[in-house]
Amino acid sequence: MKKFAIIVAGGSGQRMEASIPKQFLLLDNIPILFHTIQAFVALGDIQIILVLPTSQKDYWVELCNKYQFYPSIIICDGGKERFYSVKNGLNLINEPGLVAIHDGVRPLITTTILQQSFQDAAQYGSSVMAIPLKDSIRQVTSNGSSLAVDRTNFRLIQTPQTFVIDEIKSAYDIDFLNFTDDASVMEHSGYPIHLTEGSFQNIKITTKEDLVFAEAIINVNKTISSKSGQ
Amino acid sequence: MKKFAIIVAGGSGQRMEASIPKQFLLLDNIPILFHTIQAFVALGDIQIILVLPTSQKDYWVELCNKYQFYPSIIICDGGKERFYSVKNGLNLINEPGLVAIHDGVRPLITTTILQQSFQDAAQYGSSVMAIPLKDSIRQVTSNGSSLAVDRTNFRLIQTPQTFVIDEIKSAYDIDFLNFTDDASVMEHSGYPIHLTEGSFQNIKITTKEDLVFAEAIINVNKTISSKSGQ
């Protein structure tokens, strides 16, 4: 089946206490978003759509020129919520196939994970990356108190989330509700969700600590690959 | 109020693919557990109880000699579940006060967090460190499928978890159920739980990635403190 990707890059630098949007902060000397795109490009045989806020498009072109980074991707305008950004991306796809929707600020995504996601989506109809919780978890109640819940009954959800194109397009053919990811949109339309085991490395870069973590993981991976003679 | 700490160090090296228990792996050139203990020692005016598996006590002494690390702490035998380890520690405390129970493999705990925990426990009766979730979350259902739940209604739970001594001792005066932390034991006995805002840095070292993260955070903190002239 034909493969598509929608990479959603709509963040600001607010939680990072940075003046530039977090997807453009440098990680291993290149913008975070470049890492993300490179993983998809490396997969090969895929049409990549990058959804960017309109206000960031000039900066994007500037960065591409600065780093001589010219991937073969389609740039698409973002919306005021993530939901509308994804919807804009989906509107550009008019062929059957599978689409992996991915957060621009998950730069540690690997080609192996992407392959698994497309493979599971082909087999099960969808693939949503999920990892178990390492910490205990509590549910906050409406009166301000909280209750222990069994963490083994929960999964932390990541991206990519990969779907059959006509199904995700039909799921997105609704008005915005308070969705935090694409699996929720699919579920709202009654589609079943298949969870694929994700990787603890595939973090979303939201805080300064996340950036430190990502930098460290990249360095460790470099050491491993240089030790193995690559 | 008099301050006590129970540091629970019962892990094996299994998930780390390491041959020595994870609390003894090196972080910034000293065993993980030494960092944890140092943060409590730095707080001052506190009685520290370290709960160790009986089988690891000889190795502990060996490590202390090797690194010339001789903190003023009481060593206590661990039990076959974390529940029994904490209970053994509590049995050594026979005075009123507050006790902070902490995972030995959370070495990035800071004196500031510990102070906040004791302060909140004195004011609210308990203090359980909690952080918001950055990822979406799904609940796995009994038929193997899963459902989106609102992540803003949940908190990831860390340690320290600090309690009034006679209350936590009475809560622990029961048979073992499937508790994953001390807040759950308290809650089972009807005590209310006060959540204190924790730190994203205060991670539990469970996987190899966690160790990489901890090492990176320590290096960043060193850079910050050397830049500020300390």
User: Is this complex scored with an ipTM above 0.85?
Assistant: yes
Q: Would you say residue A21 lies in a domain?
A: yes
* pLDDT of A14 over the 60 cut: no
Residue A133 domain-assigned (yes or no): no
Closest CB from B148, B207, B212 relative to A220: B212
pLDDT score at A103: 97
Q: Which residues of A touch B148 (CB under 8 A)?
A: 180-181, 183-184, 187
Facing A134 at nearest CB: one of B146, B204, B212: B204
Contact residues on chain B for A193, CB-CB shorter than 8 A: 138, 145-146
Separation in Å, CA of A57 to nearest CA in chain B: 26
Using alpha carbons, select from A222, A203, A227 the residue that is nearest to residue A213.
A203
Give the integer Cα–Cα distance in Å for A108 and A126. Answer: 21
Binning pLDDT at 50, 70 and 90, where does residue B20 land?
confident
The per-residue pLDDT for A176 is 85
Tell me whether residue B152 is in a domain.
no
- Give A130→chain B minimum CA distance, Å: 9
CB contact under 8 A, A209 and B204: no
Q: How confident is the model at residue A18 (pLDDT cuts 50, 70, 90)?
A: low
CA distance B90 to B77: 12
A153 contacts B139? CB cut-off 8 A? yes
Nearest-angstrom CA–CA distance, A178 and A166: 22
Residue of A nearest to B15 (CA): A134
Structural domain contains residue B20: yes
Asked if A76 and A89 touch (Cβ cutoff 8 Å), the reply is yes
Q: Which of A187, A212, A217 to mutate to test the interface with B (most CBs of B within 10 A)?
A: A212
Which SS3 state, helix, strand or coil, does residue A80 take?
A: coil
Percent of chain A surpassing pLDDT 90: 80
The amino acid at residue B152 is: T
Lowest average pLDDT, out of A63-72, A84-93, A193-202, B216-225, goes to: B216-225
Give the per-residue pLDDT at B178.
Answer: 82
Helix axes A32-43, A111-124, angle to 10 degrees: 60
Tell me the pLDDT of chain B averaged across its residues: 92
Condensed to tens digits (0 to 9), the pLDDT of residues B140-177 reads: 988 888 999 999 999 999 999 999 999 999 999 998 88
- Chain B nearest-CA distance from A149, in A, is 9
Backbone angles phi, psi at A24, to 5 degrees: -105, -5
Distance of CA A67 to the CA centre of its chain: 22
Contact yes or no for B217 and A220 at CB 8 A:
no
Please say if the pLDDT value at position A142 is more than 90.
Answer: no
| A137 is a domain residue | no
What pairing do the DSSP bridges indicate for beta strands B30-31 and B26-27? antiparallel
H helices of B75-159, in order, are 82-91, 111-124
Domain count for chain A? 1
Q: Does residue A144 sit within a domain?
A: no
Nearest chain A residue to B219, by CA: A212
The answer to the question of residue B145 being in a domain is: no
Distance of CA B207 to CAs A87, A164, B18, Å?
37, 34, 10
In this prediction, residue A180 carries a pLDDT of 83
What is the per-residue pLDDT across A89-113, written as a single tens digit (0 to 9) for each?
A: 999 999 999 999 999 999 999 999 9
Q: Compare all CA atoms of chain B with the CA of A146 and give the residue at the minimum distance.
A: B193
User: Which of A138, A143, A201 to mutate against chain B (most B CBs within 10 Å)?
Assistant: A138
Closest partner residue to A155 among B140, B192, B195, by Cβ? B140
pLDDT, tens digit, for every residue of B96-154?
Answer: 999 999 999 999 999 999 999 999 999 999 999 999 998 999 999 888 889 999 999 99
The answer to whether B171 and B186 are in contact (CB under 8 A) is yes
Range of the domain at A47: 3-128+157-228
Contact B189, B174 (CB under 8 A): yes
Report which residue type is found at B168. I
Q: Specify the pLDDT at position B180.
A: 83
List chain A residues with CB under 8 Å of B130. Answer: 138, 146
DSSP type of residue B24: G
Indicate yes or no: CB of B193 within 8 angstroms of CB of A151: no
Residue of chain B with shortest Cα separation from A185: B148
Top-ranked range on mean pLDDT: pick from B1-15, B18-32, B121-135: B121-135
Residue B107, domain CATH? 3.90.550.10
**Model pTM?**
0.88
- Structural domain contains residue B58: yes
- What is the model's pLDDT at position B134? 87
Percent of chain B with pLDDT over 90: 80
Do B153 and A139 lie within an 8 Å CB cutoff? yes
